[in-house]
Chains A and B, each alone.
Chain A
Amino acid sequence: MEHLINIVLLGLLMLAGFAIVRTKSLLAVAMLTSIYSLLSASLFVVLDAVDVALTEAAIGAGISTILMLAAIALTSDEEKAPRHTPLLPLFVVIATGAALIYGTLDMPRFGDPAAPAHRHVAPTYLQDTPTAIGIPNVVTSVLASYRSYDTLGEVTVIFTAGTGVLALLGFRPRRRNTEDTGRKKLVILRVVAKLFFPLILLFALYVLFHGDYGPGGGFQAGVIFATGFILYALAFGLSNSQQLIPHQLLYVMAAAGVLIYGLVGIASMLLGGKFLEYQVLANDPVTGQHVGILLIETGVAITVAAVVLIIYYGFVSRRPAPGDI
């Protein structure tokens, strides 16, 4: 049964991929990539990688679709005819694909319990997490403690992206009543948005603080938090949503998240440990782990939420015409 689901999902993924390549309307392409991400998210669920699935659904299917639509609104929704012949890219893609398939030939069988990936470091994570970290979600323990430094790096990547968008697009503060004329008619959207806005924020907090126990964590929480504000901006206009969360605050948030993360590391050094050694943060090592993970996950969520909003505002505030996407 599982194989059947996998085959169907992978088949649909391939179809979506071909459709993305062939479609000329970029609006349709944005929707198709969203579908592609949703299909991948479903595939990750089948593979029992629920944390990854949650991220893919929130980012791939959610945020990046909105950002793509915002970019299309700024430019054009028709693909330009390519200037070069597609022969070289086609050759590169075929060669890469062939190499990937060739590489699979000696891989361990799918789901093989004897595969090296399941035999070397993974058992240590599974065995030690309950005693050393004291939380049930092993994915969180790897991301936020064992390989926490990678996560700090990833947050820095996101922070870099936010800084880059600020440098290239910047913010253009909106004057009021240039944009709210047509939007008053969107009664259903407004009512639904009003209902959902607090729930989305609440859910983001749940995903953040429940990350130790179930799928989720700072990254997903940040994205969900940002989508709440994006929904609000869609329904009530950009200037209203910017009053809710002014852009100076977004700068501070984007920087603060990385700083919180980094300072947790510095604090553990000052307390006599190694960088990001949470054990020293409290008298009891396991409590220290809890404190450390909670702090850094909060840092991640703050930076991610701020950067997603910075990118969104960066795009939509450049539109000269009234109204946003």
Chain B
Amino acid sequence: MLTENLVALQVVVPLIFAPVCLLLGKSRHAWACALTVSWLALGIATLLVTRVATIGTQSYAIGAWAAPIGIEYRVDMAGALIIFIIAAIGAMVMSYARRSIEHEIAAENSGYFYACYLLCLTGLLGIAATGDAFNMFVFLEISSLSSYVLISLGTTRRALTAAFQYLVMGTIGATFILIGVGMLYMMTGTLNMMDLAQRLPGVDDTRTIRVAFAFVTIGVSIKLALFPLHLWLPNAYTFAPSVVSAFVAATATKVGIYVLLRFFFTVFGIHFSFVAMHVGEILMVLAVVAMLVASLVAIFQDNIKRMLAYSSVAQIGYMILGISLATSAGVTAGMIHLFNHALIKCALFLCMGNIFLRLGSVELHDLRGLAQQMPWTMAVFVIGGLSLIGVPLTSGFISKWYLVSAVLDAGLWPLAVLILLASLFALIYIGRVVEAAYFSKPDPTAKKVREAPASMLIPAWLLIGANLYIGVDASLLAGIARQGADILIGAGVP
């Protein structure tokens, strides 16, 4: 029962336990339940990746109705990689969460928090597992709605306006995606992605399909915070509870990129997306602007969470740049960076959670001399920061290496220069924090703080460990990403 239903269980297990968490309420049991389920999801994801690697793409007809009559779950290597990183981040963040949540969220709300966390996990996993365009929309709604709630639970009242801003933008994005999917259905009579891919070439030279493409692209771009549609992101990441920042920053935008990949390569096909609609050129320009402008803005932030948020917008630029090349190497680089950035950003935001727990602030000037008092936490920040810059022996170097070589393969050497320039900006904004924590004299009036508890350090260090492992030996990740990219690119060839 387990193996043949693995794909369905990946999504259904967290879904069913979310209401259980609500019933468990504010007791410790809700946390225990969420923790067990998120590790279970990671276990299933590990089995799933192995299965996809050994047997190949997994297709599952829900309700035994074969596609396109029913809804199909379809996990290929690209989807499996996304599922794995979501589940891994989900398990790490939940292991970390208890102390941080006790500190930042009112006790009577903790049951709702854990329920929403599992719902968000469900939604994200569902998007990555599905092979049906409308089903993707439904799970996108689950993940979006729950992340609005999670963000609104932040410690200050500004979290409410941040969540509301995100809600408005996110709803516009979702509506655009729905309009696009509706038009696709109107022109083809199907919602299954593989079926759409087969039926679209007959009707794709129509204004309706071109408009559908535009709606889907813009809608998803809002969700993944592509410059200049990223305006909801800095506030959302800044004012959300630390745990939520870490989880959402590492997963939600990544899933958005996955949705974009699916639509560009699987549904519309590489020829229509990149040759007929010229989406590559548009994305390339936006990606480069995102890389440079957002990195530059990050330098001037005094709230470190906000700085990391702008850095996320820039890093999304790197991923989109790889995808915009529409080559196997480019998409591979995008997916590698997607994976690595999830590890990096999650660890960095967890660091912020540690600092907020002890210090009650993540403002730069409060961090002076902190490295002596919280050495383990700051070490995580330094290694994570070095990855963000792309220093060798960290996973960030692997990302940049693949991205720069993909850009050079495409003969676009000026872009390689711009990538290095953006890395220089990253060096500056990370450097500011390191300078404050390691080389500034602490304020004599500031209170002395202790290192964060082990339960919060270990998950962060596990992420950093994975990061360093990839920095040394990236063959496994690169192999999986290459396989995923080849499936995506191949699926579009007529």
Contact = CB atoms under 8 A, between A and B. Distances in A.
Interface residues on chain B, size class: 35 or more
B212 interface: yes
Interface string A274-294: 111111000000000000000
A28 interface: no
Contacts of A168: 149, 152, 160
A59 B163 CA distance: 24
Contact of A164 (B116, B185, B203): B116
B208 A106 contact: yes
Contacts of B71: 147, 149-150
B136 to A, nearest CB: 10
Interface stretch (B77-85, B105-113, B391-399, B416-424): B105-113
Contacts of B199: 116, 120
A103 B70 contact: no
A105 B112 CA distance: 47
A266 B63 contact: no
Given A102-B207, A107-B186, A167-B116, A259 B20 contact: yes
Interface stretch (B38-46, B187-195, B359-367): B187-195
A255 interface: yes
A105 B208 contact: yes
Interface residues on chain A, size class: 35 or more
B22 interface: yes
A148 B215 CA distance: 26
Interface in B1-29: 1, 5, 8, 12, 15-16, 18-20, 22-23
Contacts of B215: 99
Contacts of B126: 153
Contacts of B138: 150, 153-154, 157
Contacts of A99: 211, 214-215
Interface in A149-197: 149-150, 152-154, 156-157, 159-161, 163-164, 166-168, 170
Contact of A116 (B23, B146, B160, B187): B187
Interface string B138-165: 1101100110110011000000100000
Contacts of B19: 159, 254-256, 258-259
Interface in A90-135: 99-100, 102-108, 115-122, 124-125
B64 interface: yes
A272 B63 CA distance: 12
B170 to A, nearest CB: 13
A31 interface: no
A259 B141 CA distance: 19
Interface string B152-184: 110000001000000000000000000100010
Nearest to B70: A146
Contact of B135 (A103, A153, A166, A262): A153
B123 to A, nearest CB: 8
A165 B405 CA distance: 49
Given A124-B69, A150-B134, A117 B189 contact: yes
A263 interface: yes
Given A149-B63, A156-B119, A103 B113 contact: no
A39 to B, nearest CB: 20
A220 B178 CA distance: 22
B1 A160 contact: no
B141 A255 contact: no
Nearest to A144: B63
B469 interface: no
26 contacts: A106-B207, A107-B183, A115-B186, A116-B187, A118-B189, A120-B68, A120-B190, A120-B199, A146-B63, A149-B135, A150-B134, A156-B119, A157-B138, A160-B116, A160-B145, A163-B115, A164-B112, A164-B148, A164-B149, A167-B113, A259-B20, A262-B12, A275-B8, A276-B63, A277-B63, A277-B64
Interface of B: 1, 5, 8, 12, 15-16, 18-20, 22-23, 60-65, 68-71, 108-109, 112-113, 115-116, 119, 122, 126, 134-135, 138-139, 141-142, 145-146, 148-149, 152-153, 160, 179, 183, 185-190, 199, 203, 206-212, 214-215
Given A148-B63, A163-B112, 12 more contacts: A100-B211, A107-B183, A149-B71, A150-B71, A156-B18, A156-B119, A159-B119, A164-B116, A265-B12, A269-B1, A275-B60, A276-B63
